[in-house]
Structure 1
Amino acid sequence: LCANTADTKSLLQNMTDARLQFALNLLQMESTHLNLKNFAMSPFSTWSLMVMLYEGADGSTLKQIRDVLAIYVDYPTLRKWYEAASAYHYLNSENTKLFSLRYAYYDDVGDIEFVKGYNSVVLRGVGEENVVLQEGRPRGVDFDQGASIIINDDIDKASHGEIYSSYSRRSFNDTVTMLGITVSYFKAKWKYPFDKSQTKEEQFSDSSGKPAGKVDMMVQTGKFAYAENVNGLQADVLELPFGEHELVMIFILPKPSYRVSQVLNQLKNLGLQPLLEKLDASKNESDVEVKLPKIDTRSVLSLEDSVTEAGLSDLGDMHADLGRMLKPTGDRGVYLSFYHQFARIVVDEEGLPDAVPQKSSGTNNIKFHMTRPFAYLVLQRTHKLLIHSGVFREGEVP
């Protein structure tokens, strides 16, 4: 599908743009579905699971995934790119914890056959204990007997005990032929820590100014990348760097009286690139007083309908063609019956060892106070991977 190096570079850029757009679409949809709640999600994990299905798809299903995700590079190129990017599915240093799982389970009670020779680059996992990932293939289970124990155990192992799932026999019925699962836990230390002694319990408000619970509010002032008036986006934007792996956290704070879902709809139409360019151009020259709530958000999202809404309607159809991975031998079709994502993100004051908060150079500081609903993105800058994204709408202090 690609003839030379210039073509390949262009096609990979198109794939990156489509991947980010797919992520923004899903984030905006969930911000509408989950109107009042805090939630976290992992766009890169979802995209990776879609690539696993792309590897197993044929016919019109293959074409649809290719078109929506703009996968027009040849398969060896895709595989090589993914192998490099997949390093950011698992990070386990003293300063960065990212534990994840991308997997599919199919009902192997007799009328679904695994296609020999299928070997997914996505399912060649990394990380200790994740032995289930090393086969390069989905796992056959009996959804009516024992599958829930296996899946709960896989999620527990993959997240190093940080994420809990509670599947039971009642979670599935006899129409389920395939379950997609993604898991992502993230916690990292800042390049510039927040001073714990400055953290105070404060009132959080909703977009109309009414009380919406209490938060533990962190505060620091320093030179950070900051942007406003990005092509009509009704929000201010701030980027805070983590200490390792070119990871940053981007905060999107709607102007007063604008809802997060409205701003995310604007961002979906604008795209992420103009926002990143504006942050790059700011060159960390602004003294910004940052107020950021501590975050510990856990979400379990059913994303099969959102994936359909984002353009991949074939995958949720019982006539989906996943015949390069699984073949139906009876009356049931093989399709993505459910797609569940388990995500948890923890944000606190901690910075790298020996790191100190930046000092303010004056009193004329920009105030970026996250005392009302905001959205956030955890981005790996080099590969432009959206590791996590989410919305914070209400205080999490009990």
Structure 2
Amino acid sequence: MYDFAVKFYKVIAARSTDFNFVCSPLSVWLILAGMAEGADFYTRKQLFNLLNLPYDECTRQKYYQLATSRIVQTDDIKIYSNRILLLDTGVSPNPSWYDVVTKNNLLSVFTAPIGHSNSVILDTIDYNALWTTEFAAGRIKRSPFYDHVGNLIGFVDLMKVTKLARLGYIKKLKAKMLELPIGENGRYRMLFSMFPESNDVIEALGIVSKDVVFEVFNSFKDSLVPVEVALPRQFISSEIDMRSLIEDLGVTSLWNDPAATRNVSYPPALPSSFIQRATLTMNNHGLYSTSSGQAAPYGTPTGLDPEVGNDFIADRPFLYALFDAETLTCIMASAFSVPTYKY
């Protein structure tokens, strides 16, 4: 899953004109898995290689059950996800394929008059949840925001909190990391990374691999003293053409070859497009309040790597991602580079 998520994120980052986006690798993985279940041998091989799926059906079903159970709805967690194959009126899904994808919750299948094609793939995911501990409303401050090389480009509303936190440092990336729990009992984790020693974040991404992801999780240490954490309050929305990205990742026959989707529907589905719309709201609200103490003075032993210092102030471009705490599955990934208020 990490291997797919890293490849997926790199392709989106390379195509992004402003390096400001949000996406869901998990949602795309599930949709492609659903299409693979009805693909011909050639296309299935392309998709299984990309998704790292085994040919054994029972093992795949175990993966699907695990993957589709990562998104839960509770009073404090609001993640709404819809994965839809929309067939044109008159196109009928293959009953055996339909049974597999619906039983495993990979895709919902609907029909409607499309007119221009046999089918389209529509994917939406919206996130708005409570932190485990809140950022005090009284500590939200309009603050400068800088580009990769330190030029002032605008302003953001920084949410600030002083607390014991988990931070880490990845030497290979020269990246400073922060982990914050979300929801009751930290059901999810939001991971943030900044690159204070790099003038090109996209270049730094070039050496990221699934092994680096594991290194990130292993790098976190609990601070021994309260540290200052500041993040921009934001709402970010993206609509991304996933078809072209997936073609870049080597899956080309799914869209144009009738044989590729002849086991999905009759006539073959031949999806003409695959669009993902994702939104993410980051606000200060949390389940529990936190004291507004003072951060320890610089030089105070923190128990953290020296490169981390004793704060995490996201006042320049940064990456972040939402992970399920139980399995560490990456549900959403994002980059923030465009300030709320332009300079």
Structure 1 length normalisation: TM-score? 0.76
CA distance in 2, matches of 1:51, 1:114: 16
Alpha-carbon displacement from aligned partner over 1:149-171 (angstroms, at most 9, x marks no partner): xxxxxxxxxxxxxxxxxxxxxxx
Cα distance, 1:355–1:305 mapped onto 2, change above 3 Å: same
Contact 2:233 2:283 survives alignment (8 Å)? yes
CA distance in 2, matches of 1:357, 1:115: 58
Contact 1:189 1:243 survives alignment (8 Å)? yes
Alpha-carbon displacement from aligned partner over 1:185-216 (angstroms, at most 9, x marks no partner): 11111122111101101121111222322211
CA drift of 1:270 comes to: 5.0
Q: Paired residue for 1:116?
A: 95
Larger relative strand fraction: 2
CA drift of 1:41 comes to: 0.6
State how 1:70-81 maps to structure 2 within 5 Å. Answer: 70-72=52-54, 74-81=56-63
State how 1:269-348 maps to structure 2 within 5 Å. Answer: 270-279=211-220, 282-285=221-224, 287-319=226-258, 321-328=260-267, 334-348=269-283
Cα distance, 1:177–1:184 mapped onto 2, change above 3 Å: same
Letter in 2 for 1:274: E
Contact 1:180 1:336 survives alignment (8 Å)? yes
Q: Paired residue for 1:237?
A: 177
Q: Paired residue for 1:395?
A: 339
Alpha-carbon displacement from aligned partner over 1:125-180 (angstroms, at most 9, x marks no partner): 98xxxxxx9xx662232213xxxxxxxxxxxxxxxxxxxxxxxxxxxxx3x33211
Contact 1:55 1:120 survives alignment (8 Å)? no
What is the identity percentage for the equivalent residue pairs of Structure 1 and Structure 2? 23
CA drift of 1:23 comes to: 1.4
Q: Paired residue for 1:33?
A: 15
Alpha-carbon displacement from aligned partner over 1:275-303 (angstroms, at most 9, x marks no partner): 11222xx2454643211101210111111
Residue 349 in 1 paired to residue 284 in 2?
A: yes
Residue 99 in 1 paired to residue 80 in 2?
A: yes
CA drift of 1:336 comes to: 3.3
Contact 1:320 1:335 survives alignment (8 Å)? no
Cα distance, 1:360–1:238 mapped onto 2, change above 3 Å: same
Letter in 1 for 2:165: F
CA drift of 1:40 comes to: 0.7
CA drift of 1:124 comes to: 5.4
Query: 1:386 aligned to 314, 318, 330, which one?
Result: 330
Letter in 2 for 1:45: S
Q: Paired residue for 1:4?
A: none
CA distance in 2, matches of 1:60, 1:284: 51
Letter in 2 for 1:346: T
SS of structure 2 residue aligned to 1:103: strand
CA drift of 1:223 comes to: 2.1
Which of structure 1's runs of 4+ aligned residues deviate more than 6 A? none
Contact 2:136 2:161 survives alignment (8 Å)? yes
Q: Paired residue for 1:155?
A: none
SS of structure 2 residue aligned to 1:56: coil
Query: 2:319 aligned to 375, 394, 397, which one?
Result: 375
CA drift of 1:90 comes to: 4.2
CA distance in 1, matches of 2:236, 2:142: 17
Cα distance, 1:378–1:369 mapped onto 2, change above 3 Å: same
Letter in 2 for 1:239: E
Cα distance, 1:242–1:195 mapped onto 2, change above 3 Å: same
CA drift of 1:53 comes to: 0.6
CA distance in 2, matches of 1:82, 1:286: 41
SS of structure 2 residue aligned to 1:26: helix
Contact 2:65 2:104 survives alignment (8 Å)? no
CA distance in 2, matches of 1:188, 1:71: 31
Residue 189 in 1 paired to residue 130 in 2?
A: yes
CA distance in 2, matches of 1:49, 1:64: 14
Letter in 2 for 1:114: P
CA drift of 1:46 comes to: 0.8
Residue 204 in 1 paired to residue 145 in 2?
A: yes
Contact 2:227 2:295 survives alignment (8 Å)? no
Structure 2 length normalisation: TM-score? 0.87
The count of residues paired between Structure 1 and Structure 2 equals: 331
